[in-house]
A = this chain, B = another copy of it.
C-alpha cells in the first residue's frame, strides 16, 4: 500500500501514475504535459488475477487537481474514501476509480479541447483511458466506464459524454456548470473591474501568481479567464482570450458569450440525442441553494432530456455549492450498478 492509502486509511490501494500526454505537449500556457493520474483499486484487486473491473472516471472541479482530490481534511471524506468505504461496507460492487488531472495555469481546462489551453478532452479520451485500460485489469469498453464529477467536473462529465459517444455508459453531474446565463454572467462585472486595473490579461495573471494572497475578486476574475480560455480562446497563444464582455464598459458581448453557450450542456441536448441515448444512467443533482444557480441549470437540462424521452435520475437537496461530497454516497453505487461486470 502506498503512503497515500495509509494516510487516507483506505482498504484499497491508491497509485499516482504519470501520463506523458501528446495532446497537451507544447500547450501555449506551458502547463506540464506530464500529468498525474490517481488510480484506486479496490480491496481484492489482483494485478495478476483474472478479475476485471469497471472504472469510474472522476473529473475534479475548477481549481482542483489530483492532489486536492486525494487530500484529506478533518472530519471530511474525499471521493476515494467514499468509494473505499462504500465498497468495504458492501453497499456497491468493487470498482476502480481514476482521477484525471485537468488543472491549468488559469485554474482548469473544463476538459475541453482548446487552442489556448491544449486538448484536455483528447488527452482524457485518447490517452488517460487507454493508459488505464493498458495498465490495470479493466473492462475495457464503454460498458465498463462511467464518468462523473462535481462543479466543473460535472460539466466535464457531461461534455465528454456528449462529445465522445461510445466511450462511457453512464455519467453523473454533481452541481455541474450548467446554464451559463446564470452560472457565469453574474461574474462579468467583477472580472471587468479587476482586469481594468491591468494592462493585459497576461499582466493580471502574472500579478495574480506573484501575490501571496489575493482578494476574492481576483479569484472570480481568473475563473472567468479560465472559462474563456476553454470556451472562447482568441488564439493559440497564452493569454489571448476573447472576453464575453467589453473590456472598457463591461457590457455583455453576445457574440463571444454565444461561443460559451455553445458548450453549455443545456443548449446541446437536441444535437446530442444519440450520445445521450447510449447512456444507461443519466444522473444530475444540485443543491437548491447553489450560489451559482446551478440547480436551475440542472432543472433545465433535465427537463430537456425528459422532453426528448430520456429517463434521468435527478436529485435536489437543501444545500449550497460547497462540500457536497456526501452525494457520492448516492451516485457512486448507482453508477457502478449499471456498468458491466466482467
Contacts and interface: CB of A to CB of B under 8 A. Distances in A.
Interface residues of A, number: 57
Contact of A179 (B64, B214, B251): B251
Contact of A64 (B8, B68, B74, B329): B74
Given A72-B67, A179-B251, A181-B252, A296 B192 contact: yes
Number of copies of this chain that the complex holds: 4
B75 A6 contact: no
A319 interface: yes
A300 interface: yes
Given A7-B36, A16-B7, A107-B74, A296 B68 contact: no
B250 A300 contact: yes
A7 B251 CA distance: 41
23 contacts: A2-B3, A4-B4, A6-B18, A7-B16, A63-B73, A64-B74, A65-B72, A67-B71, A71-B71, A74-B107, A75-B208, A75-B209, A75-B214, A179-B251, A181-B185, A186-B186, A189-B296, A192-B296, A193-B289, A213-B326, A248-B299, A249-B296, A251-B300
Interface of A: 2-4, 6-8, 15-16, 18, 36, 63-68, 71-75, 103, 107, 179, 181-182, 185-186, 188-189, 192-193, 208-209, 212-214, 248-252, 288-290, 293, 295-296, 299-300, 303, 319, 323-326, 329
